[in-house]
Structure 1
C-alpha cells in the first residue's frame, strides 16, 4: 500500500482571483499583495562626473596595478628592505677602513680626540656597524642590532660634531624610522621583549613602533626640499612628494604612497647623488656617496612599509571597520 504526501498547490490562473480591473488585472495566487510593503533605505549611486569619484576610481586602479606588478617581488621585499636599510652602515664601515688615516687625522686635529681614543672610536664603529648589519640581514637578534645601530648614529653625531647639523639630523631621523620598521617587523615572532610593560601587548607595541617608524621615514624628503635653489620643476617635485609623505605619515593609502615614494626617491637618488660620475679625488664625491646610501636606507624602510602596511594606528586601518 503506497502512501502519498499531499502537497497543497495553488489554483491555476483561471481559478485564481483577479486583482484590479480591466486589462491591467493580475492574479496573486500566493497572497503577496496582502502583505504590508517593506521600505528600505536606498543608497544613491555615485556620480561618475564627480571629481572626487574620479580621483577615487583612479587611485583604486593605481592601487590595483601596484598590487599586481609587485606580486613577483612581494616574497623578497622584506629581505631587500632589510638589506637596503643597513647598506649605509656597511658603506660607512668600509669607508672608515679605507680612509683610516684621514678619519684618524680628522678626529685628532678637528675633534681633539687623543690618539688612542680616536682609534678605539673608529674600531668600535666599524665592528658595531658590520656586526649589527649582518644580524639584521640574517634576521638574528634584530632588536639588539637595531639598538646598536641607533647607538652608532648618536655616537657619530657627537663624535664628528654633526649633531646640530640640520641635514644630518633630518636624514638620520629617517634612518631611525627605517630601523624602527625593522624592529616592528621582528616583533611578529617576539614574545618576551619589554617585559617591564605588562599593560601593552605585542600587537599594541608593534602598532606604535610602526606609527613612529613611518612618521620618521618622511624627514629625509623634508630635508631634500629645504636644500638647493627653487625652480618650477623642483616645486612640483616637492609638492607631489610632500603629499605622498603626508599620506604615509597618517597611514592613508600607505602602501600606494610608499611605493610611489620608492620610485620618486630612487629616480632622485640616481640623478642627484650620482657620486660615481665625480672624480675620485674630488671632495664632493664622499658627500654624494654618503647621501646616496642614506637615501637607499630610506627606500628600504619604505619597502618594508609596502610589505607590512601602515599598521593598526592609521587611516587605512580605521577604514576597515
Structure 2
C-alpha cells in the first residue's frame, strides 16, 4: 500500500541558509510522481485480487472436503466414457480399426480389450487412490496407444486436448506424492517432495493447452476475442503459478459454461454422426476441469510465483 504524506507545519520557518527545497508531493496542488501513482494502482489490484481470493475461500469452504474426490472422478470420466463407448460400439470399432487402420483381426480385438481394461482399471485406481502411480501410467499408456491406433497423433485438436488430460493425470500423481509425505511426516522425503514439485509444474502447464486450442481454432467473433483475451491471461497465470487458485477457478467457470453451450451433445439426434464427437469433447473438457479443480485444492506447488512470494 502507498504511504501517507504528512505536511510539516513548520515548513515555512526553515532558515534560508539551510538550503530548503519545497517538496513537490507535499505542496498543495502539486501532481503526484509517476512511481507513487504506479504503486497505488498495484496496491488497488492487489486489494481487489485479495478480496476475490477471500470470497472464493469463504464460499467454497462447505464443499472443500469433497473437491479432491470430485476432481479425481472428473479427471478419469473421459476414460470411463470411452471404455463404455468401445463396449457398446464393439463391432463398429473393430470395423474401423481393421478397415481404415489396417490392423489384423486378432490384434484389433486385443487392442480394444487392452484399452478397456487399462481405462477401467486405471480409473478405479485414481478414484479409490489405489496404486496411483500404476493407475496414472496405465491411463497415460491409453492416451499414447489410442493416438497410434486411431492415427490421431498429428491431429492438432486431439493433441492439445490430450496434453491437458495428461496435465490432469500429473496433478493426480502429484497429489498422491503429497499424501505419501503426510503418512511419513517424520522421515526424510526430499526426493518425493522434489518429484511432487516437478509434477505440479508440468501438470499445471499442460492443463492450459485445451484453452490454447480453443483460441487458435474456430471463427472469430467479438465475444470470442474477449473470452480469448481473459482466458489467455488466466492460462498464463496458471502456468507461472501467479494467483493460481484464483485463475484456475476462473478457468473452471469459463470452461464449464463453454462446455455446456458448445459441446451440448444431448441436443443432437442420436443417429447424427456429430453427436459422438461432441460427446467426446464434452467429457474430455470435464476431465480438464477436474485437473483445474485439483490445482485449486492443492495450490500451484513449489515452482511458482505464489510460492516464491512467501519466501521473499
Instruction: Sort the TM-score into its range (normalised by shorter chain).
Output: 0.7 to 0.9
In structure 2, the residue matched to 1:268 is 258
Distance (Å, rounded) in 2 between the aligned partners of 1:106 and 1:189: 42
Q: Are 1:296 and 2:286 an aligned pair?
A: yes
User: What is the alpha-carbon distance in structure 2 between the residues aligned to residue 241 and residue 140 of structure 1?
Assistant: 35
The residue aligned with 1:146 is 136
Q: Does 1:70 align with 2:60?
A: yes
Provide, for residues 43-78 of structure 1, a one-character-per-residue CA deviation record: whole Å limited to 9, x for no partner.
Answer: xxx879933222221111111111101101111111
Mapped to 1, the partners of 2:115 and 2:304 lie a distance apart of 36
Task: Give the gaps of 5 or more residues in structure 1.
Answer: 1-45, 192-197
Which of 234, 242, 248 is 2:224 aligned to?
234
The equivalent residue for 1:156 is 146
> What is the alpha-carbon distance in structure 2 between the residues aligned to residue 155 and residue 257 of structure 1?
33
* 2:89 equivalent among 79, 99, 124: 99
Q: What is the match of residue 105 of structure 2?
A: 115
Report deviation, 1:252. 0.3
Instruction: Measure, in 2, the Cα distance between the counterparts of 1:168 and 1:176.
Output: 12
Given the alignment, which residue of 161, 172, 189 partners 2:162? 172
Does 2:226 match 1:257?
A: no
Report the TM-score when normalising by structure 2.
0.84
User: CA offsets per residue over residues 92-123 of structure 1, 9 Å max, x none?
Assistant: 00000111111000001000111111111111
The aligned counterpart of 1:135 is 125
Q: Distance in 2 between matches of 1:189 and 1:290?
A: 32
Q: 1:312 and 2:312 equivalent?
A: no
CA distance in 2, matches of 1:170, 1:71: 33
**Measured at CA, do residues 122 and 306 of structure 1 come closer, stay the same or move farther in structure 2, by a change above 3 Å?**
same
Tell me which protein shows more helix as a share of its residues: 2
In 2, distance between residues paired with 1:63 and 1:48? 23
Whole-angstrom CA distance in 2 between matches of 1:204 and 1:48: 37
Residues 117 and 252 of structure 1: CA distance in aligned 2, closer, same or farther (over 3 Å)? same
The equivalent residue for 2:3 is none
Q: Number of aligned pairs?
A: 270
Matched, 1:50 2:52: no
SS in 2 for 1:50: helix
Give TM-score, length-normalised by structure 1: 0.82
Correspondence list, 1:184-203, <5 A: 184-190=174-180, 201-203=191-193
Alignment gaps of 5+ in structure 2: 1-35, 182-187
Paired residue for 2:173? 183
CA spacing shift, 1:119–1:211, aligned 2, 3 Å: same
The residue number in structure 2 matching 1:6 is: none
Cα RMSD after superposing both structures: 1.7
